[in-house]
Structure 1
Amino acid sequence: MAGDKAVSTVSKPVMRGLLNSSIKRNLTVALTLAAISGVAFKQLVGNERKRKYAEFYRNYDAEKEFEEMRKKGLFQSC
């Protein structure tokens, strides 16, 4: 009988609810990664783009731009 304790039996695999638990885990991981990548994109790309647009329009003079285009002959009516 001492040899029986040395040999362990493999437990049966859990098959009931396996798909549901796998879907829950994968959905949680996917949503977490999507949220992290969304925040990272906003911080790295979105905020930099907003800063560049603000800088451009801070120094932009529409009248000066119009006069340059008019002198080049880009408008037929002017």
Structure 2
Amino acid sequence: MSFALLTKPQMRGHLKKHIVTASMFSLGCASLYKFGVAEPRKRAYADFYKNYDAMKMFEAMREASISESAPPKGS
């Protein structure tokens, strides 16, 4: 029986290349998330709460009888 000898795979240098590639990919994904999702979300919350009046919203819910703990005025 004769077996064909396979050449050994080249193992040196691949780990460093994969670590660099994975690091660049993860940094790219993190920055895309930060500037594509997190920053616009923070800006939207800031814009919403800039003119938000909690007491005005509470009175509107009270008048609509949405809240059970605060009966409408005059009840």
Common fold, TM-score beyond 0.5?
yes
Pairwise CA RMSD of aligned residues? 1.9
Equivalent residue letter for 1:76: E
Q: Which runs of no fewer than 5 residues in structure 2 stay unpaired?
A: 1-6, 71-75
The percent of aligned pairs where both chains have the same amino acid is 33
**Structure with more of its chain in helix, by fraction:** 1
Q: Is 2:30 the counterpart of 1:35?
A: no
Q: Which runs of no fewer than 5 residues in structure 1 stay unpaired?
A: 1-12
SS in 1 for 2:11: helix
With normalisation by structure 2, the TM-score equals 0.71
Q: CA deviation at 1:77?
A: 2.8
Query: Looking at both structures, which has the greater relative contact order when contacts are Cα pairs under 8 Å and sequence separation is at least 6?
Result: 2
Q: Is 2:57 the counterpart of 1:68?
A: no
Of 19, 24, 42, the match for 2:16: 24
Cross-structure match for 1:49 = 41
